[in-house]
Structure 1
Amino acid sequence: MLTNLFNKEYPEFWKKYNDSFKRKATKYVVISMETSGLDTEKDVIMGIAATSVVGNRILIKDSFELFIQHGKEKTDELANEFITVSKFDKLSEEQALINLLGYLDNAVLIGHRINFDIEMINECLHRMKLGKLKNEAFDIEAMFNKWVDTNDTPYSLEDMSKQLKISISERNSVSDDAYSIAILFLKLKEKLGIQ
């Protein structure tokens, strides 16, 4: 019995994702998610957007956006009309995660309150009977706290952009948020002297 547990055959996409960590990461991936709520066990991911940052450049052409189809019982509870009435094609949760992991590879993740995003993704992976994300991650709110020398103070994207004197988008979609986070990340990276 124990040998079956340790000799489990994982899907090819999961093996490829794990193998990517044998190489050094060459890019950052900024991620933003729309969820049905803040409970990582009960709520679900509705949309994910990501964009790559290499060096000091945001690679718009290398962006990623998808929306996830959930059963009727989940969508009835949603307050965000943008996602609920969206005409975008939607993927199953499993296909969305396969696409996301293929995009992420071994990149360093960047986000606003990134630990929540990681927990939500890990819950999806758990439902697929897989392991957890292995990517290193940086949170722009933690970076901002370090820059302004505060300790665990919550800052919205708007708060940070005002203090950094940069303009960000109107935040109408998860893609807008990912791009705004990428701009803030580049500014904070410069302020903190991160290569």
Structure 2
Amino acid sequence: MNIMMDFKYRKYKGKDMFDFPEDYTVIDIETTGLNPDENEIIEVGAVKVRDRKIVDEFSSFVSPKKDIISPEIRKLTGIDEAMIEGADQIEDVIPRFNEFIDGEILLGHNVNFDINFLYDNYERYSDFYLSNDYVDLLKISRKLSPEFENHKLETVLKKLGIKVDQQHRAVSDCIDAHHCFEKYRETIIAQYGDVSVYKMIFNL
């Protein structure tokens, strides 16, 4: 989602990987703001990938406990109060979401934001930790496409020639990130023959 400098220590957080697994789960959240200590999750989305193809998805609105959806967030996400009215609380969503991503390598665009936000909510509202290893599409884009004017997901999609989903929502962002990730994999394979060769050359 959005970029925010966050240096909080999270003891059980998983490993940041530069890799191209064929089985993984893409995650994305929408929130009322950028600060996990002050703002809240209003949507959680994920798509499960097997052999580089989407096979399942998870989607849930989340009812915030005290925060409101600002006009800026409403405009960005298309989510308003009516859409989240009656939605589950975060403590009810986390167990279902955790079951969906259990044992998975996670992928996302600027996925540190999503993982940190989720990690803090796991810690606050459950008795387990979010400790999955993860791959950040933002880092991959910066490494493989340094010529881009920026590395927002919308920009990466356009530059890679992938149709942009105008709906800035959790599952649609997951699907978009999946397409970008697979496009970068294909680029590496076309140039180097195999991802492992690329990683060896660049000591990744």
TM-score normalised according to structure 1 size = 0.76
2: CA distance between counterparts of 1:91 and 1:174? 16
Structure 1: gaps spanning 5 or more residues: 1-24
Distance 1:101 1:184, change over 3 A: same
Name the structure 2 match of 1:91.
Answer: 88
2: CA distance between counterparts of 1:100 and 1:94? 10
Distance 1:130 1:142, change over 3 A: same
Name the structure 1 match of 2:64.
Answer: 70
Name the structure 2 match of 1:133.
Answer: 130
* % identity of equivalent residues: 23
How many equivalent residue pairs? 167
1: CA distance between counterparts of 2:126 and 2:83? 30
CA contact (8 A) 2:22 2:49 kept: no
Name the structure 1 match of 2:164.
Answer: 168
CA contact (8 A) 1:147 1:191 kept: no
1: CA distance between counterparts of 2:69 and 2:165? 29
Q: What SS class does the counterpart of residue 138 from structure 1 fall into?
A: strand
Q: What SS class does the counterpart of residue 75 from structure 1 fall into?
A: coil
Q: What SS class does the counterpart of residue 83 from structure 2 fall into?
A: coil
Name the structure 2 match of 1:190.
Answer: 186
Structure 2: gaps spanning 5 or more residues: 1-20, 190-194, 197-204
User: Which amino acid letter does the alignment assign opposite residue 54 of structure 1?
Assistant: R
CA contact (8 A) 2:23 2:52 kept: no
Name the structure 2 match of 1:10.
Answer: none
2: CA distance between counterparts of 1:53 and 1:112? 16
CA RMSD of aligned residues (A): 2.5
User: Which amino acid letter does the alignment assign opposite residue 73 of structure 2?
Assistant: N
Distance 1:149 1:83, change over 3 A: closer
2: CA distance between counterparts of 1:127 and 1:168? 35
State how 1:29-108 maps to structure 2 within 5 Å.
29-59=25-55, 62-71=56-65, 73-75=66-68, 77=70, 79-81=72-74, 82-87=78-83, 90-108=87-105
TM-score normalised according to structure 2 size = 0.72
State how 1:138-157 maps to structure 2 within 5 Å.
138-149=135-146, 154-157=150-153
2: CA distance between counterparts of 1:163 and 1:76? 31
User: Which amino acid letter does the alignment assign opposite residue 59 of structure 2?
Assistant: E
Distance 1:131 1:154, change over 3 A: farther
